[in-house]
């Protein structure tokens, strides 16, 4: 049975399946142009508004640490919300490490600029100070 007829019997729209690119690709490259775009019994051929986004080149994450004991972890305040809104959470994280993992050294740093600006100088500073890991927080 024709796939369109089968879908119609099931109460489904063929065009609804065009949401799946794999099915949509089976559409003819160009529909018959009757001048009114009405193709058989009130069937309409429409152009697809959707565009094809380009996928980003994949970049692997940095290798993880084998353990945290003896390591230095930077807790970096992104200053989301400005005016030290994140202080409390990072302070609580630092307190948790002190209580539960005292062999971990934690250092709190506040990112310069606002929460949407980069701070490459701080990342360099952390690397040069041989920081082992970073917890970046928080944003909402």
Partner 1 sequence: MSLEAGEIEQKYGIPVVAAAGSNVVSFGIGANATYNTGMPIRYVGVPFPFSGQPRSVLKGYIEGKDTVSGKPMMPAIVDGLTQPLTDQEKMSGIPPEAAPEPRLLLADTEDNLQRLFKDRGWTDYNPVILPTQERVAAMLKGTSHKPDEIVKSAAGTFGARRPFTVEKIAVLAVMAGAKPEYFPVILALASMVPYQDSTTSIAQMIVVNGPIRKEIGMNSGLGALGPDNEANSVIGRAMTLIHKVIQGYQEGVTGFASLSNPLRYDNLCIAENEEALPEGWLPLHIQMGHKPTDSIVTIFTGWNFINSTGWVEQHYAPQMLIRDYMASLSGMSATLIMDPSVADLLNDVQGFKTKAMLGEWLSQNVEKTAASYWGNSIVSSMIGPLATQGLEPYATWKKAQGETLIKPFSNPKSIHAVVVGGKTASVWFATDFTPEKGASIDAWR
Distance of alpha carbon 55 from alpha carbon 15, whole angstroms: 25
Nearest distance, CB of residue 77 and partner 1, angstroms: 11
Nearest distance, CB of residue 9 and partner 1, angstroms: 14
> Given the complex with partner 1, which of 107 and 117 has the nearer CB atom?
117
Assess 9 for contact with partner 1 (CB under 8 A).
no
Assess 1 for contact with partner 1 (CB under 8 A).
no
User: Residue 47: which residues within 8 A CB-CB, separation 6 or more?
Assistant: none
Task: Enumerate residues 61-80 that contact partner 1 by CB under 8 A.
Answer: 61-68, 73, 78-80
Task: Enumerate residues 38-57 that contact partner 1 by CB under 8 A.
Answer: 39-40, 42-57
Distance of CA 82 to the CA centre of its chain: 23
Nearest distance, CB of residue 63 and partner 1, angstroms: 7
Question: Judging by beta carbons within 10 Å of its beta carbon (0-12, 13-18, 19+), is residue 137 exposed, middle or buried?
Answer: middle
Q: How many CB atoms lie within 10 A of CB 110?
A: 15
Query: For partner 1, which residue of 2, 9, 60, 102 counts as binding (CB under 8 A)?
Result: 60
Distance of alpha carbon 93 from alpha carbon 51, whole angstroms: 43
Binding letters toward partner 1, positions 99-118, x by CB under 8 A? -xx---------xxxxx-xx
């Amino acid at each position: 049975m024709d796939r369109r007829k089968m879908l119609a019997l099931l109460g489904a729209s063929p065009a609804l399946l065009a949401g799946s690119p794999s099915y949509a690709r089976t559409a003819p490259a160009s529909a018959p142009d009757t001048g009114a775009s009405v193709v058989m019994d009130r069937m309409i051929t429409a152009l697809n508004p959707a565009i094809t986004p380009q996928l980003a080149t994949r970049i692997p994450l940095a290798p993880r640490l084998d353990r945290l004991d003896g390591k230095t972890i930077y807790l970096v305040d992104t200053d989301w919300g400005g005016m030290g809104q994140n202080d409390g959470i990072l302070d609580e994280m630092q307190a948790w490490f002190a209580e539960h993992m005292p062999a971990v050294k934690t250092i709190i740093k506040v990112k310069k600029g606002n929460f949407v600006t980069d701070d490459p100088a701080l990342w360099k500073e952390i690397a040069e100070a041989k920081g082992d890991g970073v917890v970046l927080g928080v944003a909402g």
